Structures are given as C-alpha cells and as structure tokens.
A and B are shown apart, each in its own frame.
Chain A
Amino acid sequence: MNEPVMIALIVFFAGALIAYATAALIKGIFWSLRFRGEMKIREREKWNDAAAATKS
C-alpha cells in the first residue's frame, strides 16, 4: 500500500477514535449534570422530610 493511502487511513481511524472519545465525553458531561440535578432533588426531599419531622 502506498504512503498517501496509509496516511489517509491513519487520519480516518485516528479521527474515528477521537470522535468516539468526544461522544463519550459529551454523554458523560450530560450524565454528570443529570446526576447532580437528581442528587440535589433527593437532598432537598430529605431536608424537607427532616424539617417536617422536627416541626411535628
């Protein structure tokens, strides 16, 4: 296989690898944001329950 074809293949596979890593990163960022949001809601519910229990 000649050199330009080899270079093209290297560019494609390196590109594909980095692109998938970036997709994983995007998904990871989104999950983290969602997870943080859920944790906040749970914490707030716990706090509200605790506050209600104290009042009663």
Chain B
Amino acid sequence: MPEFAFINLFQGLATLLAADTSVTVARLALIVLGIALVYLGARNILDPLLMIPMGFGMLSVNAAVLFLAGGQMGTIFIDPLASDPAQLMEVLQIDFLQPLYTFTFSNGLIACFIFLGIGVMTEIGYVLASPFSSMFIAICAELGTVATFPIAVAMGLNYSEAASIAMVGGADGPMVLYTSLMLAKDLFVPITIVAYLYLSLTYGGYPYLIKLLIPKRLRGIPMDLSKIPTVTPAEKIAFSVITCTVLSFLFPVAAPLFMSFFLGVTIREANLKHYIAFIEGPLLYGSTLFLGILLGVLCEANTIMNPKILILLVLGILALLLSGVGGIIGGYVLYLINKGKFNPVIGIAGVSCIPTTSKVAQKAVSEANPQALVLPYAIGANISGVITSAIITGIYITLIPVLK
C-alpha cells in the first residue's frame, strides 16, 4: 500500500503545517481577526454591513488554503495578482470570486454602484447652503492626505507609495483604489485592504475623537436651518447635470464617481420610483455585501504578507486620524469666524467617508443636544470632501510621475 499522510486529507490543516512559520502565524492571526470583525460588526461597534461579510471572507480564505497544481499553496477564492491574460482566463474559470474581483472591484465599478446608491439617498440642496464653508472644512480634513506624505517618505516608502497610502486620509475608498492602481500597483492590494479596513473604523473611532477634542457644551450648538435655500427638483436636476459636466471636465480621474453620484441625485429628484427602489435596495446592499466579501478574501496571508504592510497599517491610521483632527480644526475656525454660531462637530464630516461621517457628526450632536440638527450642513461638508479628495487625487497622480 502506498504511503500517504493522513493529514493531507484535510488540506487546510496540512498547508498550515507545511507553510513557513511566519505564514502560519499570519493565517491564524487573520482568522482570529476575521472572527473579531464579525463579532464587532454584530455588536454594532463597527459597521456591520461591511464588517460581517469581510470577517467571514477573511476567516474562510485563511482557513481554506490547499495544495494546487505543482504543489503550490493557494485558494480557490481569488487571485488578485493574476494579470497575464491567459493566466487570468484560467483563474476566472476556477476561483469563484475572481469574476466579481476582475469585473467589478479592480476597475472600480462596485465603488460606482455604491456612489449611485449614495446619490439616490442624498439631498443635494444642502451642498448649496454654504459651499465656501463646506469646502473650507473639506480642505482642512485633507490634513491626513497631505501630512502623511512626508512621514511615509521618512519611513522608507518611495513617492508613489507614499502618495497612495497618504490618500487613505481622504477616507474615500475608490480614490485610494485609483491612486494605488495608477502610482503603486505592486502595493495595490495591501493599500486597498488597509484603506477599507480603516474606513469602517471611522464609524467606531471618530465618535471618540469628537468627544476627546470638542467639549459637550460646543457639541450641542444648534445650527440655523433657515439659511438653507429651498431648491426645486428642477433646479437640483439642472445643478446636477451642469456640475457633473464641469467637474468631469476638471477632474476626469473622478468622473466615474461624479457621474454615478449625480445620476443618483437626478434619479431621486426625477422621482423615478422603480429605479430608486432598485438602487437603494438590491444594488446598494448587494454592492456593499460583495465589497465586504471581496475585502475579506483579499486578506489572505500570502497576498498581504508584504514587508511594507506594517508601515502601511501605521500610516493608514495616522492619515485618518490627522484628517479627523484637521476637519475638527476647520470646524473650530468656522466656530470662531461665526462667533459661536457654528457647531465644530460638523468638521468631522469634511472627511469624505460619505455618508458615515455625517451620521457620526449628527449622532455626536444629538447625544449632547437632542434638539440640534446639523445633518444638512454635515452632508454639504461630506460632498465637498468627495470633491476635495478627487482634487488631491488628481494633483498627486499628475505631480508624482513628474518628480520620479
């Protein structure tokens, strides 16, 4: 009878024993992290819509490593590094999540679907209330994207990698995805994972930052909503069409996102009920679910075992922290300019994690003063944040290749 190892019947365990110690430890750590994400999502401490599928993807992909052809270790989930067309065709027929990754994630389509959904849910009239103050807050909230760049260079990254990880401070997943694809393709996967992982942390982490930096007395300042102009649906549609055209001319890098967002706004204002029901429901929730699963399965130990990953983790959280602080500083400046009639909490909404940071701002304000409503102003700052993130992305992508 030929000799065979019993453990090889259970390849997930066999590969765990056969791999390098570092890979084994990383796999086990990621499985534990996956379980933690599911737990924190289910407890509503982190965003459950993203964290639960992400946690499941992460724990499952790291448990399910097996021996492939040629004795190589891998999974039948996804191969994010496959780029050769022949290899990609083969992978598309074997790895069950590869079609989703290739046709919706790596080209940013899934992000556009999410922006379409956000557009359908957004009241655009708010951005017209005070575009200059909204834009001021948004540019202050880019502190992380700017200040992280020299820190990243000092930590040993080159300019392209530094710019890509600095974009995490913009808190805009699709922008980070695009910047790393354009500037640092070799770090595309780890940077994208770090970005999305931290973006979900804004939901859990920013409320503490607000409480730390803004006293309760100031958090409860009510905003004057009578200043917000009444805008008719026809005006909003005209505004969306013109603004989308002009912004696409100015920032082609973010044109797919602008188109998706303003199309969503127009569908809402034109009251296309069937489209609204489809986009708000199946499309938005479906995209969020698949985005979560994809992010989870991208966290396979072999894929993200990059010596730079630790630096990226540190820089990612630093970028988001600095952006949050910058936004709150912007809020304080407007509080002083408006002689105490501006709620500085709105500053956090300048971080363009739309609509999470707006909701975080309103929640923090409601805790301090249940009567105060800042959401319209926060949404305005949020939309401006998307625009400034697109601007900074455009500048980095144009500037960095020239400096190489």
Give me the interface of A with B, judged by CB distance under 8 Å: 2, 4-5, 7-12, 14-16, 18-20, 22-27, 29-30, 33-34, 37
B147 on interface, CB distance cutoff 8 Å: yes
Task: Say yes or no: A29 contacts B243, CB within 8 Å.
Answer: yes
B395 within 8 A of A: yes
B135 in the interface (beta carbon within 8 A)? yes
B127, B139, B246, B384 — most chain A CB neighbours (10 Å)? B139
Closest B residue, CB atoms, query A20: B135
Known: A16-B139, A29-B239, A29-B242. Is A8-B146 also a contact (CB below 8 A)?
Answer: yes
Q: Which of A11, A16, A24 has the most CB of B within 10 A?
A: A11
| A24-B131, A29-B243 known, 10 other contacts, Cβ within 8 Å | A2-B150, A7-B149, A7-B159, A9-B146, A11-B396, A12-B142, A22-B247, A25-B243, A29-B246, A33-B239
Chain B, interface residues (CB within 8 Å), range: 35 or more
Residues from chain A with a CB closer than 8 A to the CB of B384 are 19, 23
The chain B residue with its CB closest to the CB of A14 is B395
In the complex, how many angstroms separate the beta carbon of B158 from the nearest chain A beta carbon? 11
- B128 at interface (Cβ–Cβ under 8 A)? yes
- For residue B388, CB closer than 8 A to chain A, the reply is yes
Cβ contacts under 8 Å, A33 to chain B: 235, 238-239
A-B contact pairs, 11 of them (CB 8 A): A2-B150, A5-B150, A12-B146, A15-B142, A15-B388, A18-B395, A20-B139, A25-B243, A26-B243, A30-B229, A30-B235
Distance of B99 from chain A, by nearest CB (Å): 37
Q: From B153, which residue of chain A is reached at the shortest CB distance?
A: A4
Residues 372-397 of B, flagged 1 when their CB comes within 8 A of A and 0 if not, give 00000000000010011001100110
Interface bits B230-265 vs A (CB < 8 Å: 1, else 0):
000001001100110011001000000000000000
A22 CB to nearest chain B CB (Å)? 6
Contacts of A37 in B (CB 8 A): 235
Chain A contacts for B388, CB-based, 8 A: 15, 19
Q: Which of the residues A2, A7, A14, A23 comes within 8 Å of B403, measured between beta carbons?
A: A7
B387's contact among A5, A9, A22, by CB below 8 Å, is which?
A22
Is B325 an interface residue, CB under 8 A from the partner? no
- Inter-chain contacts of A5 with B (CB < 8 A): 150
Shortest CB distance A47–B (Å): 20
B162 with A19: CB separation less than 8 A = no
Decide: A11 and B243 in contact? CB cutoff 8 A: no
- A25 contacts across to B, CB distance below 8 A: 243, 246
B134: interface (CB < 8 Å): yes
